[in-house]
Amino acid sequence: MENQPIKENNPSKLDRAVKISVIIGALIVGLSIAYYLVIFLPQKAKMTLEQQSERCYGASQNYFKDYMKKQGEYAQNYQSSHYQYSNHYNQKLNKCFIDIVNNESYEYHSTVYDVYENKEWGGIDTAGETVGNCGLQKKGCKSKVEFNNLIQPLMEQ
């Protein structure tokens, strides 16, 4: 008997089933990887608004303490009566803002900072009714009311 060559052009049903299984397996692995990268990781990395607000609050406390140290002994002695701050996590801008106010009897100073970037966004300085510097991010103002209107979106969104 002569050996007859096996025909490779005629795949068996088993070969076909293996190929289909490999293709389906590769598709499942590919879709799983895509889901993990596109959907799962971004959701995991994204903190909730409450978590961001808590983080901002803690960072603002530390920022204010450091700010007061830089102001010197006078500011530290009168901290409770003259210096105050408020903070807000702005979800739209993904930034933590702090508004530090020094409200003495005759002078009023308010400065808004981006806590995470340690960057001043604007402020107002007054002596009595006279307004000195007043503005926020290249927008000028002429009064406390105008300044408060400028910072309101930052401190409320």
**Domain check: are 26 and 98 in the same one?**
no
**Domain check: are 74 and 30 in the same one?**
no
| Host domain of residue 16 | 12-46
Terminal Cα-to-Cα distance of the chain (whole angstroms): 88
**Domain check: are 17 and 67 in the same one?**
no
Tens of pLDDT, residues 14-49 = 788 888 888 998 899 888 888 878 877 666 556 788
**Domain check: are 16 and 61 in the same one?**
no
Nearest-angstrom CA–CA distance, 73 and 62:
18
The answer as to whether 7 is a domain residue is no
Largest Cα–Cα separation, the chain: 117
Quickly tell me which residue has 């102001």 as its tokens.
Answer: 71
Tens of pLDDT, residues 93-134 = 999 999 999 887 788 899 999 999 999 999 999 998 899 899
**Domain check: are 109 and 42 in the same one?**
no
Reported pTM: 0.67
**Domain check: are 32 and 65 in the same one?**
no
